[in-house]
Amino acid sequence: MSRVYRILRKKFAGSPFDGEGAYRYGGRWSSAGTRVSYASEHQSLAMLEYFVHLDKDDPPDDLVLAIADIPAGVSRARLEPTHLPSHWRDPAAPSELARFGDEFAREARHCLLFVPSALAPSENNVLINPAHPDSKRIKLLDAEPLHYDPRLFSKPARRRHR
């Protein structure tokens, strides 16, 4: 059994892994019109992935942490960084990356696709195909309120030199 994490606004917590956001807007690993859900292997990575998209002057106060348990037998594949173009970590995602998630969803051979994080490439994000039959085996846990430490949004205090 493994666990995945996703940060989202409270109003979307009723169906956190349905892929609606990626379907509407796309993402690094999928095009708009492709239904996949983005999650992370670690809570800290999920927080980092969400944080880079926050408006630092107006962070939302209604975030939740969605958690799902993934049984060992759920079908999965892994995308290795060696199969990616050299510029795959660019802040503006190279358009060719979306084909990986689009093919993953269209072919539906696996429920999960582990992809390296552009922010922490030794850690993985997970694309979940909600249309794959194995997705019904994923167990959602109760969403938890999530708050970022306010120090992440403030300038560091100046230290006095002795």
What pLDDT, in 10s, does the model give residues 90-138?
Answer: 999 999 999 999 999 999 999 999 999 999 999 999 999 999 999 999 9
Per-residue pLDDT tens digits for 25-74: 999 999 999 999 999 999 999 999 999 988 888 888 999 999 999 999 99
The Cα 91–Cα 83 span in angstroms is 19
Domain region containing 79: 2-153
- Give the residue among 47, 14, 32, 30 at the shortest CA–CA distance from 147: 47
CA atoms within 13 A on the CB side of 32: 2
What 151-158 contacts at long range (C-beta under 8 Å, 24+ apart), as own/partner pairs, is 152/51, 153/56, 153/59
Mean pLDDT of 149-161: 77
Confidence of residue 152 (pLDDT cuts 50, 70, 90): confident
Nearest-Å Rg of the Cα atoms of the chain is 17
In a domain, 69, yes or no: yes
158, part of any domain: no
Task: Tell me what pLDDT residue 72 has.
Answer: 95
Pair 112, 76: CB distance under 8 Å: yes
What average pLDDT does range 12-18 have in this prediction? Answer: 96
**What is the H or E stretch that residue 109 is in?**
none
Residue 107 forms part of a structural domain: yes
Is the residue at 44 inside a domain? yes
**Does the residue 162 lie in any domain?**
no
- Answer whether residue 159 is part of any domain: no
With respect to residue 59, please indicate whether it lies within any of the assigned structural domains. Answer: yes
Q: How many domains does the chain have?
A: 1
User: Is the pLDDT confidence value at 162 over 80?
Assistant: no
Per-residue pLDDT tens digits for 75-95: 999 999 999 999 999 999 999
Residue 51 class from Cβ within 10 Å (0-12 exposed, 13-18 middle, 19+ buried)? Answer: middle
CA 51 – CA 69 distance, rounded (Å): 23
Q: What is the CATH number of the domain that holds 74?
A: 3.90.175
160 lies in a domain?
Answer: no
**pTM assigned to the model:** 0.91
Report how far apart, in Å, the C-alpha atoms of 110 and of each of 115, 128, 130, 134, 135 are. 13, 9, 11, 8, 10
Q: How confident is the model at residue 153 (pLDDT cuts 50, 70, 90)?
A: confident
- pLDDT of 58 reads 83
